[in-house]
Chains A and B, each alone.
Chain A
Amino acid sequence: MAEKAVQRETVLSLRETIAQIENRRLPGVVRAAQAADPAGFRRQREEGSRNKILPLGVPPLDDVLGGGLPLAGMTEIRNAETRDAGAAAGFVTALAVLCQRRKREKGHLGPVLWISQGLASREAGLPYAPGLKSYGLDIERFLFVSIRTVKDALWVAETALSVPVFAAVVLEIRGNPACLALSESRRLHVRARAGGVPLLLFRQAGEEEASSAFFRLQIKPASAGERPLPDGSMLCGSIGHPAFHVLVEKSRAYASADIFLEWNAHDRRFYPIEQSVASQADGQSANSVDPFSASVGRSSGADQMGRLLAYARAS
C-alpha cells in the first residue's frame, strides 16, 4: 500500500514537471491530488515558499521582516507626505532592483512593471529613465503604465500578477482610495502569492490603513552621508548615497523597528548607517520635545496606537 502511494506520488510529480516544462497548467489529476493530500504536497510547497524571501542585507531590517522581502505576496510601502515621495520611490526602486537582479541571476528576463495612477505621477513626477539607470535598474526591462483611475490600475496589477514573468510589480496609488480597501488588497495579495510575484504597493501620501500586505513600511527621508574620496576620507559638504529612514509599521515581529539605511547604487545593495549619525543628521531641531515616550513592543506608529483599538477605514 505504502509502495503504491509512493509510486503514485512519483507519477504525479513527474506529471507536474512535464506540465512545467511544457509551460501548461497543471493537469487535473495533479491538482486534485494536491488539494486532497495537503500533508505531502503542502509541506513541499511551504519549503518552496520559504526560499522565496529576498534578504535585504541589513540585519535589523531582515530580522523584523522575518528574513527579508517576501518574493510572493504584497508589501506595502507608504510615505506620509507628497514631498517625501522621492525617498519612498527610491526605496521601492531599490527593492525592484534587488528583485530584478535575483531574477536575472536565475537566467530570467526579469522585467519590472511600474503601474502608476495618473494623479500620483503628476503630483510626484514621472519615473526618469536616466535616473533609474544610474540607480541600478536595468531600464531596458522596465515597463511603465500610467492609468487614470485606481480601478483600472488594480485591474492592470491583477492581470500582471497572473503573468509569472515580472521580477516585481509596483503599484503606485495616491492616498487611500475607497476602491482599494481591505477586500481588494486581500485579492491582490492572494493573486501575488499565487503568481509568485512580489507586489510592492506604493501608497503615496497615504494614511495608515489596514491591509492584507505582509508588511507595511513607512519611508521618511534621511540625510545622506558624504561622498567618499579615493583616499578614504569624505568630501565635506557633498551629498553621497541616498539614505532612508524606514519605520516598520506592520510586521510579525514584536519589536519596534526604526532603521536607517543607505542604498549603494554601485554595489546594488543596502548598507545600514549608524543611527547616532543619522539622527544627528536628521535635522531635529534642538528644542523639539517628544510628546510621548517611545513605547516598547509597538511598531513605530506608536503614539497613536495606545488609544486605538482598530483603525477606522481611511478610505
Chain B
Amino acid sequence: MRLVALDTLAERVGLRRGQGAAEARAMCPSLDVIIDDPAADRAFLEGLADWCDRYTPLVALDGKDGLFLDISGCAHLHGGEKALVDDVLSRLFLLGIEARAVISSSAGLSWAVARYGNAAVIAPEDAERVLAPLPVAALRLPAETVALLERVGLKEIGDLLHAPRAPLTRRFGSLLLLRLDQARGHADEPLSPRLPVPSFSAERRLAEPLQEEEHILELARHLSHDVRLSLERHGEGGRLFELLLIRVDGRVFRIQAHAAVPLNDADRIAALFRERLQAVHDDLDAGYGFEVLRLSVLRSERLDPAQQDFSGVPDESQPLAAFADKLCARFGPDCLTFATLAESHLPERAGGFAPLTDVAAVIGSRPVDEKACPENRPLRIFTHPELVEATAEVPDGAPRSFNWRKTQYRVARAEGPERVAAEWWIDGEGHPTRDYFRIEDQEGRRFWLFREGLYGRETSLPRWFMHGVFA
C-alpha cells in the first residue's frame, strides 16, 4: 500500500506521496489510513461541480481534483470577481473543503497559479509577470518533460518565456509551447462543460431556505412565469424542463420533466413538476432546506402562437397532452403507449406498443397500410406463447383436445392451418415454421394455437403453443 494523498497535517509531519503505508506508519504511529476510492472521489467532484452550477452553467471537470468554471459574464451577478472568489472559498470552507481558486483570463494560467502560485484575481496584463516565477511543472506537462527541462536548467517558466521557440519545440515537443501559449492566453483552450447549457433558465436565491413541497412548487410556478416570458419572446416552447435544487449543505438535486407538446404555459410547466415531485417524493430529501432553485429549459421547439377559433369545438390536443405529461411525469416515459403496426409475418412482430412521447402521433393520422393487417387475428396475445399439450388426429392436422393451464379443452371446431414461416432475414435459418389454428372449444371459447415445426420435415415431435385468445 502506498500513500496517494495527504492532508496538511500529514504533509507537515514529513510524509510524501508514493511512500509505503508501513513506512509512513513507522514515522507517525497515529496515522489514519483510508483506502483510496477513485469512484467515490469522482462522484464527490461531480457533486461539487453540480454545486458550482450556482455560479455558472459552464462547469468542466479537470482531472481528479480540479474544476474549471467559465464565468464570462457571470461575475457581476456575484459582486465582481474578487467577491466571487471569496464567496466560493468561504462557502467551500463551510462545507469542510479546502480549496484554492484563481480567476484569470486563461484556464492554463488559473490552473498554474491555483496549484503553484498565490493570487486570487489576475488581470490579463499581469499574466507573464505572475507566470514567470512558477516552476515548469505548473504548465500541465508530462513528468518526463518536466524532468528533462529541469535537467537542462530550465526550472522556472520565466526561463522559457523568452527562449527561442524553434529549438524548444525540436527538443521537447510541441506540447510545451502549446501549454505555454495557453497559459499566456495566446492560444485558445476550449472547455467542455459537463452538462448541456440550457437555452432558457430562471433562478431564485433565497435568504431563508425552503423545505415544504408546496413552497417549492409555488416557487417553481414563479420561475415558470419568468421562463415563459423568454420562451414567448423567442417563439419557442419547451419540451424538456429541469428543476435544479441546491440544498443548504451543497447537495444538488436535478428533477427533469418531459412535455408531450412544446409548452410555454406557466401553469402547465408548474403542473409537470407537481407530478414529478410526487413521484420522486422519497428521493428528495429536503434536509435543512433548499437555498437556490433554478428552472431551465433543456430542449425547446418552435411554437407558433395559435389562435382560438369560435367554432365551439375545443382543441383536443392540449388536454390530451396535459394528460400524457401528467402520466409521464409520474410513472416515467414508457408508461403511456400507442399501438403500432409493423410489416412482419410473425404475429408478435406485426403489432406492438410504443411509448407516446409526442401527442402528434395520436392527433395526426398515421397512414396505416391495409395489407399490413391480416384478418383473423386475436384480440389479445401472450407475450410469450404458452406451451400446451395437444393431441391431434393426424400429425399435421388440427388438434382434437389440448391441455392449457392444467385444464383440458375439447375442440369443437377448428379453422386452419395458416402457415407462417420464420423470418430468416432476421432470425437466421433453421427456425421452425408455425401452423396457426383458430379453435373453438365446446363452451365457445376461441383460441389461437400454433404448432411449431413441420411434421416430418423439420421435426418429428412438433410442440403446440397457445398464442392468443379471440373474442
Contacts and interface: CB of A to CB of B under 8 A. Distances in A.
Interface of A: 20-23, 82-87, 89-91, 93-94, 107-109, 111, 121-122, 124-135, 139-147, 152, 155-156, 159-160, 163-165, 220-224, 237-239, 242-245, 263, 281-283
A83 B445 contact: yes
Q: Which 8 A-B residue pairs are closest in the complex by CB-CB distance? A: A90-B471, A86-B469, A129-B351, A125-B380, A242-B471, A283-B442, A221-B444, A129-B339
Contacts of B374: 130, 134
A223 B443 CA distance: 7
A122 B368 CA distance: 27
Nearest to B438: A239
B413 A143 contact: no
Given A156-B327, A238-B415, A20 B312 contact: yes
A125 B468 contact: yes
Contacts of B445: 83-84, 86-87, 221
B378 interface: yes
A126 B327 contact: no
B353 interface: yes
A128 B468 contact: yes
B325 to A, nearest CB: 11
| Most A CB within 10 A of own CB, among B315, B372, B469 | B469
Given A86-B380, A239-B413, 5 more contacts: A90-B471, A109-B362, A140-B365, A156-B327, A239-B440
Contact of A124 (B365, B373, B469): B469
Contact of B471 (A87, A109, A156): A87
Interface in B400-426: 404-405, 407, 412-413, 415
Interface of B: 308, 310, 312-316, 319-320, 322-323, 326-327, 330-331, 335-341, 347, 350-353, 356, 362-363, 365-366, 368, 372-383, 404-405, 407, 412-413, 415, 438, 440-447, 468-471
29 contacts: A20-B312, A82-B405, A83-B445, A86-B379, A86-B470, A87-B445, A87-B471, A90-B471, A91-B471, A125-B381, A125-B383, A128-B380, A129-B339, A130-B351, A131-B351, A131-B468, A133-B368, A135-B471, A140-B362, A145-B327, A146-B335, A146-B337, A159-B327, A163-B320, A163-B323, A238-B415, A239-B438, A281-B444, A283-B441
Contacts of B379: 86, 89-90, 93, 127-128, 131-132, 135
Contacts of B438: 239
A147 B336 CA distance: 9
Contacts of A245: 444
* SS class, residues of chain B in contact with chain A: mixed
Nearest to B380: A125
A131 B352 CA distance: 11
B440 A224 contact: yes
Contacts of A221: 443-446
B202 to A, nearest CB: 27
A145 B407 CA distance: 30
Nearest to B308: A22
A111 B320 contact: yes
Contacts of A87: 444-445, 471
A144 B373 contact: no
Contacts of B340: 129
Contacts of B413: 237-239
B362 A159 contact: no
Contact of A147 (B326, B331, B350, B405): B331
A128 B319 contact: no
Given A125-B382, A144-B353, A111 B362 contact: yes
Contacts of A121: 380
B103 to A, nearest CB: 50
A86 B341 CA distance: 21
A10 B351 CA distance: 53
A89 B308 contact: no
A23 B446 CA distance: 46
Given A129-B352, A145-B337, A283-B412, A90 B470 contact: yes
A282 B383 contact: no
Contacts of A238: 413, 415
| Most B CB within 10 A of own CB, among A84, A108, A140 | A140
Given A86-B445, A130-B374, A142-B339, A125 B351 contact: no
Contacts of B443: 221, 223, 282-283
B338 to A, nearest CB: 6
| Most B CB within 10 A of own CB, among A163, A164, A220, A244 | A163
B363 A109 contact: yes
A126 B407 contact: no
B16 to A, nearest CB: 57
Contacts of B351: 128-131
Nearest to A137: B339
Contact of A86 (B314, B320, B407, B471): B471
